[in-house]
Structure 1
Amino acid sequence: MQIMLKFILLTILLFTNSSLAQTALIFSSSSGGNFTASELVLTEAYARLNIPISIVFTPAERSLRLANKGIVDGEVFRKKGIDDVYTNLIRLPVPINTIEIAAFVKNRNIKITNWGDLRPYRVGIRRGIKVLESATAGMTVVSVSRVEQLLKMLEKDRLDVVVVSKVLANKSFESSPPNNIYMLNPPLAKVELYHYIHKKHIKLVPAISQVLKDMEQEGFINNQSK
């Protein structure tokens, strides 16, 4: 009976939003052109509702502005609380991914175990990544758009520490193996990421939320994050 009720709910919601379902929704992502677990989860979620989507990769700050203005239909993923500032965005209730934030160094004598340890150093982060901007506020920070840029600056001793997500750093290492760059353990933080949709699609929120809850219960989301 519960499964049937879910099916009826989704059918009604999709019928009332048929004009949306016929046109691909466009979501922006700041993952640097790398198809991460977040994009895979979102693609599957909308496919279960027979809603085509397209994902465009843009710099992180621009990605948020496009989504908040409704130029695109939402953000693939962001940390919790983005909607406090970007008020046209609605956060879906289920985290679609969890990432680890780590510090990368060239000088192995540098020891970083918490955010405060970064304060004496020149720190590189990605522009527009709000969790990093907040954590490094008041420090000597260089912000650029791409992980590859940060790692090159670290190699050339223009930075002391780079702080980025492990998954994006590893993707960068695959295409351009670093020289004498080391990841410090343990990670500085684990961050849950949520899907955000523009308020013009508010009628889709219950359907997408239910599908994401189902995927979480199935273990689909957790399996993609491994």
Structure 2
Amino acid sequence: MRAFILAMLVIASALVPDTASAEDVPGHNHLHFASGHNPPLSNDEHTGFNDRILAEAFRRTGIEISLRRVPTGRAGPLVNAGTEDGCGPRIPEFSEYFPNLVPIKEPAITFEFVAFTRRDGIRFNGWESLSRYTVGHLMGSVILARNSDKHAAAVTRVKSVIQLFELLDRGRIDIAIIERWTGLDAIKRLGLKNVRMLHPALARRPMFFFLNRKHAALVPRVEAAMREMKADGTYDRTMVQVLNPLLVGF
């Protein structure tokens, strides 16, 4: 009888799926996220807008997170390989490039990709307007790489926001393309003068957090928590505190 019971236990353990989510496995209620974003969206103190929204959404599901910043193009591969548990926010089709990622389908933020310049007289009306200008953007951005390669006269890719705006300030590029809040923050931190934001925005896209598919069971709970944050005012208050001050002067 003891041998029979032991055999049944072995069989039962073999049937337990290896994709158990964080809340199902004792001791695994702590997830590790990689952020490829810059201030004011993410920073080393984890007080950026994305950092705070992410931490609060998972706190409401009973899960603690750790966050580390990585180069823009590294977050997706790390999560796809299972080295990190999640990343984002990124464009909806991000998982087409990394098949082990699943989206949390409640938008984390809407990005406006915009152009900054020091030049006067630029007539600007979308991607096609870049055809006569040298353009710079950060490495690792799918949407910026795809469209600038197609439309700009020449493209320079850099590793950091500081490098991007130093090139713009020195006249090495005509236009810097970047997410709006990140660009505004860099201009203020560097104390740049005579840099203006061109209108209209080049693209406006909802962005989403992503999890490695082994945590897919968590997705509905996190989506519900994010909807709750928007309904109770937490989301808007965070935006007012972290992002809206950057609009002064623009």
TM-score range (shorter-chain normalised) is 0.7 to 0.9
Superposition deviation, residue 222 in structure 1: 4.2
- Is 1:19 aligned to residue 24 of structure 2? no
* Unaligned stretches of 5+ residues in structure 1: 1-12
SS at match of 1:61: coil
Superposition deviation, residue 180 in structure 1: 2.5
- Is 1:198 aligned to residue 206 of structure 2? no
Counterpart in the other structure of 1:64: 76
Select the residue among 93, 104, 109 that pairs with 1:92: 104
Aligned CA distance change for structure 1 residues 15 and 180 (closer, same or farther; 3 Å): closer
- Is 1:133 aligned to residue 156 of structure 2? no
CA distance in structure 1 between the aligned counterparts of 2:110 and 2:58, rounded to whole angstroms: 20
Q: Deviations along 1:166-207, whole A, 9 cap, x unmatched?
A: 111122123211132211123222221101001121222222
CA distance in structure 2 between the aligned counterparts of 1:212 and 1:84, rounded to whole angstroms: 24
- Is 1:55 aligned to residue 67 of structure 2? yes
Aligned CA distance change for structure 1 residues 142 and 15 (closer, same or farther; 3 Å): closer
Contact 1:106 1:181 in 2 (8 A): yes
Superposition deviation, residue 126 in structure 1: 0.8
Aligned CA distance change for structure 1 residues 146 and 53 (closer, same or farther; 3 Å): same
- Is 1:29 aligned to residue 41 of structure 2? no
SS at match of 1:83: helix
Superposition deviation, residue 32 in structure 1: 2.1
CA distance in structure 1 between the aligned counterparts of 2:238 and 2:144, rounded to whole angstroms: 24
CA distance in structure 1 between the aligned counterparts of 2:139 and 2:22, rounded to whole angstroms: 37
Partner amino acid, structure 2, of 1:56: R
Partner amino acid, structure 1, of 2:195: I
Q: Deviations along 1:121-167, whole A, 9 cap, x unmatched?
A: 11101111112112223332111121111110011111010011111
Partner amino acid, structure 2, of 1:134: R
Counterpart in the other structure of 1:10: none
Counterpart in the other structure of 1:216: 230
Aligned CA distance change for structure 1 residues 14 and 84 (closer, same or farther; 3 Å): closer
Aligned CA distance change for structure 1 residues 15 and 26 (closer, same or farther; 3 Å): closer
Counterpart in the other structure of 2:128: 116
Partner amino acid, structure 1, of 2:141: I
Contact 1:39 1:76 in 2 (8 A): no
* Structure with more strand by fraction: 1
CA distance in structure 1 between the aligned counterparts of 2:206 and 2:88, rounded to whole angstroms: 13
Report % sequence identity: 25
Q: Which runs of 4+ in 1 moved over 4 A?
A: none
Contact 1:77 1:194 in 2 (8 A): yes
TM-score in terms of structure 1 length = 0.86
Aligned CA distance change for structure 1 residues 15 and 84 (closer, same or farther; 3 Å): closer
Aligned CA distance change for structure 1 residues 217 and 17 (closer, same or farther; 3 Å): farther
Superposition deviation, residue 111 in structure 1: 2.2
Superposition deviation, residue 41 in structure 1: 1.0
SS at match of 1:26: strand
